[in-house]
Amino acid sequence: MFSFGTSCVSKIICVLAIFALAHGWTGRPCFGKLETSLPHLHGRTSLRMSQDSPDSGESFLVKRKDFIKTAAGGVLVAVVGKSIGDGPEYRKKPDLSDKNVVITGGNTGLGKETAIRLAGLGANVVITCRRPDTIEAAIEDIKKASKSNKVSAMTLDLASMASIASFAKEVKSALPKIDILVNNAGVMAIPERKTTAEGFEYQLGVNHLGHFYLTSLLLDKIRKAKAGARIVNVSSEAHRFVKEVNFDDLMAEKEYAPWTAYGQSKLSNILFTKELQKRLNQAGDSITCTACHPGGVRTELGRYLDIPVWAYPLLVPLVYFTKSVKMGAQTQVFLSAEQSLTPQNSGGLYYDNCKAKDPTAGAKDMEAAAKLWKVSEEYLGKKFSV
């Protein structure tokens, strides 16, 4: 299923060792606030969530055994995503000075790096932030790094349909057209089941339904762009964690497992991409819709992991296996900026390391894609007409 590089043996040993420790531990509870990403570790028993995390300050009871299992899942994501080295860097410099770009979750991590790259190519970039108090700092960082003043930010909470509708109205009034939409924001492996404002399971609600609804509201502005408009959905190799969409328990009300729910949301991203491209093609549009895997990247996406001091040595290998944010953003930058991509040669495809990659059979099931579209409309109570 997976393709490993020359260091595959050490990677496998690392994963097996962590699983062995998990199953051999008695499971003493540890308390702590939710975690940020591995590169931000400090010498404390547990760490505060990042400022822009959805539930800053919320605490969970996490057993040591459960934590190590979750950590093993994180290492597995890194192993799957890590090819030889960090993957290719997109070095072309197309002129994007006439392009308007919208990037969800653009104040941190992959979204921020993507904003820096696209703004540096001349694009007018609008990023979204969940918390208004993070906006100014993010804008200044992006402007400084990109050497461009064509950067702005708006508030968007993908866990709220009202916030999505409000943002869509605001950005549509500000931009005459949208050339590139990067559906980048997401959450990963939330330890306990929680729901969005509308009662959707949080990972599916934010990662899939939120972007599904947002895209439906912005499509008319995307259509106003010239030929070459793009919709990029950030998915993950974690879609391989599930064989198919569990329509019988889509909201994980019967049984919740953090990595299963995450995998299902990422599988949904790919199915949405394929069904959207099919409908765009049938409508005669020239919009190219793609999905991508950034790789195992050192970002704040892992903010829900509670990492006590004793666990640091177990996670040291994770740093080796993961990509830098700069390298992790390369594929979504490529899909946004590369001029040779068209609906005919790239539409509906799944990319990894700037190349098309074959996803699972479940991610190519067009009957499931059509069903997911219909079910998504039913949950939202909104039609997405293409």
pLDDT tens column, 84-94: 457 899 999 99
* Confidence grade of residue 73 (pLDDT, cut at 50, 70, 90): low
Whole-angstrom Cα distance, residue 156 to residue 168?
9
Supply the pLDDT for residue 6. 36
**Is the model's pLDDT at 255 over the cut of 70?**
yes
Range with top average pLDDT, 15-29, 283-297, 309-323, 336-350: 336-350
Dump pLDDT digits (tens) for 262-290. Answer: 999 999 999 999 999 999 999 999 999 99
Q: Where are the beta strands (DSSP E) in the chain?
A: 29-33, 59-63, 100-103, 124-129, 151-155, 180-183, 230-234, 288-293, 350-352, 355-356
Supply the pLDDT for residue 67. 63
Whole-angstrom Cα distance, residue 330 to residue 261?
26
Percent of the residues in the chain that have a pLDDT greater than 90, as a whole number: 69
Dump pLDDT digits (tens) for 149-198. Answer: 999 999 999 999 999 999 999 999 999 999 999 999 999 999 999 999 99
Q: Looking at 90, 202, 213, 262, which residue is catalytic?
A: 262
Whole-angstrom Cα distance, residue 189 to residue 137?
27
3-state secondary structure of 28: coil
Q: Average pLDDT in the 246-251 region?
A: 98
**Does residue 35 contact residue 285 with C-beta atoms inside 8 Å?**
no
The mean predicted confidence, pLDDT, of the chain is 83
For residues 36 and 96, which has the higher predicted lDDT (pLDDT)? Answer: 96
N-term to C-term CA, the chain: 34
**Is the model's pLDDT at 17 over the cut of 90?**
no
Q: What is the DSSP letter of 156?
A: -
Reference 339, options 244, 229, 196, 204; nearest CA is 229
Q: Average pLDDT in the 216-241 region?
A: 96
Q: Average pLDDT in the 344-373 region?
A: 99
90 is catalytic: no
Domains of the chain are 100-301+325-380 (3.40.50.720)
For residues 345 and 49, which has the higher predicted lDDT (pLDDT)? Answer: 345
**Is the model's pLDDT at 253 over the cut of 90?**
yes
Supply the pLDDT for residue 315. 58
The contacts of residue 51 (CB under 8 Å, 6+ apart) are 131, 133, 134
Whole-angstrom Cα distance, residue 304 to residue 36?
7
> What DSSP string describes 366-385?
HHHHHHHHHHHHHHHT----
> What DSSP string describes 268-318?
HHHHHHHHHHHHHHHTT---EEEEEE--SB-SGGGTT----GGGHHHHHHH
Q: Which region among 21-30, 40-49, 61-70 has the lowest average model confidence (pLDDT)? A: 40-49
Dump pLDDT digits (tens) for 307-332. Answer: 555 655 665 566 556 778 999 999 99
Dump pLDDT digits (tens) for 102-129. Answer: 999 999 999 999 999 999 999 999 999 9
Torsion of CA 166, 343, 377, 269, to 10 degrees: -90
Dump pLDDT digits (tens) for 28-56. Answer: 333 333 333 333 333 333 333 333 444 43
Q: Tell me the residue type at 44.
A: R
